[in-house]
């Protein structure tokens, strides 16, 4: 997502070279990232590198959101997805992608239409697999079982926001992913930079950081995310990092990568130095005690019902006469 806005083409290509050189295999983008420029940068990287470098890469992109002012130019309709995929392939300079993801649920398009369209892409060889992004538990489960009932290709992945600061997907979405046998591809595992240690309590961000440029930026806005729980999580992650002699980013990435169902963690580095730090997380595995400390600090404090103690107790009980 940084390619073409926060990272120029030379920097992006240097990151891709380093990533695959370190054994990385999945590259994830979307049509709306830098309004198509990210796909173009990645496409030129593919075109300029030999096959032995690019062949191991599993390339993923997404479609769903508007790229122009065309009245029907958004959503998960057959019309829009077909045009969006063709446009993505054109920017990438490729005949197919390995994983095509619908970027969010579309309440206005029948899900049957979307699934038939994605199945047609698979049969045509334009995509090898498809996945979902930002779906809730019921939306994911409906898509999986509807695809099975229709005898069409099923989704294989879900890409949600997931980090020590955003754990609510554990209530319904992670169980739904596990039930469906899908893989989880977390985005924003560093909480938009919060879990890298760059922000301080009672000190509004400044300088060359995402929130330094725009403190009100998106989900990670300083006033929205700068809660007492967030600072408690940062303190806990910092303690683990200091005890292990690693960066806080490595701790946060190691935590999310070892969670149930996670098969690949999406990194969003702006610089080669940030990528180098993130890559080191692949060698870090937390102890049970370290995970427990991080889990306690990041507990989203669910209510008693239906996910909390009373709900669990109710589901576990055997009712008389049943």
Known catalytic residues are: 33
H-state helical runs in the chain: 9-21, 37-48, 51-54, 78-92, 111-124, 137-150, 173-180, 210-213, 222-225, 228-244, 248-257, 272-279, 288-298, 309-316
Q: For the packed helices 228-244 and 248-257, what is the interaxial angle rounded to 10 degrees?
A: 100
Evaluate whether 159 touches 130 at the Cβ level (below 8 Å): no
Evaluate whether 262 touches 184 at the Cβ level (below 8 Å): yes
Which residue's structure tokens are 């910092």? Answer: 238
Describe the strand order of the beta sheet including 127-133 as a list of residue ranges: 26-28, 58-63, 97-102, 127-133, 157-159, 183-184
Residues in CB range of 154: below 8 A, 6 or more apart: 144, 147, 148, 180
Which residue's structure tokens are 């760059």? Answer: 198
Residue 164: CB atoms within 10 A of its CB come to 23
Evaluate whether 275 touches 18 at the Cβ level (below 8 Å): yes
95 by Cβ neighbours in 10 Å (0-12 / 13-18 / 19+) ranks as exposed
Provide the pairing of β-strand 97-102 with 26-28.
unpaired
83 by Cβ neighbours in 10 Å (0-12 / 13-18 / 19+) ranks as middle
CA 85 to chain centre: 19
């Amino acid at each position: 997502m940084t390619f073409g806005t926060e990272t120029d083409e030379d920097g992006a290509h240097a990151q891709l070279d380093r990533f695959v050189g370190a054994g990385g295999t999945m590259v994830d983008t979307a049509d709306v990232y830098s309004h198509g420029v990210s796909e173009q940068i990645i496409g030129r990287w593919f075109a300029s590198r030999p096959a032995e470098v690019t062949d191991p890469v599993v390339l993923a992109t997404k479609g769903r959101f508007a790229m122009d002012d065309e009245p029907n130019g958004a959503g998960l309709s057959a019309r829009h997805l077909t045009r969006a995929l063709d446009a993505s392939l054109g920017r990438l300079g490729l005949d197919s992608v390995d994983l095509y993801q619908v970027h969010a649920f579309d309440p206005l398009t029948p899900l049957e239409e979307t699934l038939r369209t994605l199945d047609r892409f698979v049969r045509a060889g334009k995509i090898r697999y498809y996945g979902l992004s930002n779906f809730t538990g019921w939306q994911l489960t409906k898509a999986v079982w509807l695809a099975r009932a229709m005898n069409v290709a099923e989704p294989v992945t879900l890409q949600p926001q997931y980090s020590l600061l955003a754990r609510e997907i554990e209530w319904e979405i992670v169980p739904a992913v596990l039930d469906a046998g899908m893989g989880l591809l977390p985005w924003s595992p560093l909480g938009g930079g919060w879990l890298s240690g760059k922000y301080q309590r009672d000190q509004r961000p400044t300088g060359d950081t995402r929130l330094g440029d725009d403190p009100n930026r998106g989900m990670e806005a300083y006033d929205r995310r700068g809660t007492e729980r967030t600072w408690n999580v940062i303190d806990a992650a910092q303690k683990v990092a200091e005890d292990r002699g690693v960066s806080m980013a490595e701790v946060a990435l190691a935590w999310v990568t070892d969670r149930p169902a996670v098969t690949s963690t999406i990194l969003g580095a702006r610089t080669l130095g940030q990528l180098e730090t993130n890559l080191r997380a692949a060698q870090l595995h937390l102890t049970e005690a370290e995970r427990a400390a991080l889990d306690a600090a990041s507990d989203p404090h669910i209510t008693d019902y239906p996910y909390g103690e009373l709900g669990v107790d109710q589901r576990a009980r055997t009712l008389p006469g049943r």
